[in-house]
Structure formats: structure tokens, C-alpha cells
Amino acid sequence: MQHEDANFLLSVMTDHDNRISGMLWCSGKNKMEYAVFGDAVTFDTTYKTNLYNMPFGLFVGVNNHFQSTVFGAVLLTTETIDNFIWASQTFISFMGGKEPQTTLTDQCASTAGDIRNILPNTQHRWCRWHVLKNAKENLGSVYSQFRGFKGEFHSLITDVMDEVVGLISTPKVQRP
């Protein structure tokens, strides 16, 4: 890729046996778009749906046409705090040290701990879609038993996310 894109970056993480445990990459186009549209970044992993049964993550934003734009990608062997720390630090390094103002993630504990410790100036928010999906999975009987619950709950989540800063932020995680 380097011969096709002089600004292509790749970082490989290895384990104690010198086996690849993670790869993060971005193109010159990814870096240029992050410089302009990188104020808000969503990070999400598709869990083990690829040929190698490894978590695959994307750093994604939205451009001025409200289109999704990929800023970088990562392939990890496991979803651990250390792997997410490596991915976040490497990604920010690739982007010239510029941290996003806001990042959206699923409700994965290892991702949340990573963001608060590695990106202390970045506001962390849970992705609304994941919050509502998890609520439905865990409150399914309430959704079906109480007629107005779903609408009121969705309104509450939407209103709170807009009005109360920090309500759904993840507390800082202390690492041993």
C-alpha cells in the first residue's frame, strides 16, 4: 500500500511470543478527512465476524454531506483494555496527536476505560443505538407489558443525551 499511498500508515502490535496481536492502519485520505471532520468519532467493533475470528474495529466520522467517513481501521486478537489503549494511542499518533472532541462507543467496559484514561480531553458518549438495543434486550418484558414505556424511554434517552452533559459518560476507570 505504501507505494500507492505515500501517507499510508500501518502499525503492528505483537504479543510476548512475537505473534501479531493487532494491526491498525489508515490511508492518506483517512488522515486528511480526520483533520477536517475528526471532531466526533465513533469507534465500534464487529465481533469476530471475519475469516480470522478477530474483532475488527473502525474509527468513523461524518463529513459535511452527512456521509460516513472512515478514519482508520484496526484488527485485534481480543477486546482487552490494553488492546484498546494501544489502538487509541496509535490512532491519535497517526492523526498527528489531534484528539476528537467527542467519541461514541458501544457499552463495552474495556473501550470505556480506555477512552477516559487515554483521551482525558475527549467527551465519551455511548452510542444511542447500542443503549436502546441493550435496553430492549434487557427490558423486553417491560417494553411489551407497559404500553407507553417504549416511547417514554426513547424520549428520555434522546432528551437526556441532548441536555445533561456527562449523564451517560463513563466514570474514569482505575487500572491496577
pLDDT, one tens digit per residue, over 147-159 is: 787 777 777 766 6
In a domain, 148, yes or no: no
Report pLDDT for 176. Answer: 46
DSSP3 helix / strand / coil % (the chain, rounded to 5) = 40, 25, 40
- Number of domains comprising the chain: 1
Report pLDDT for 96. Answer: 95
- Cα dihedral 132, 134, 139, 141 sign: positive
Which residue would you say has higher pLDDT here, 132 or 170?
Answer: 132
In a domain, 55, yes or no: yes
pLDDT, averaged across the chain: 78
Range of the domain at 108: 9-127
Report pLDDT for 112. Answer: 56
In a domain, 32, yes or no: yes
CATH code: domain of residue 118: 3.30.420
In a domain, 116, yes or no: yes
pTM of the model: 0.71
In a domain, 173, yes or no: no
79-95 pLDDT tens trace:
888 888 899 899 999 99
pLDDT confidence tier of residue 47, bands split at 50, 70 and 90: low
Distance, in Å, from the CA atom of 94 to the CA atom of 72, rounded to the nearest integer, reads 9
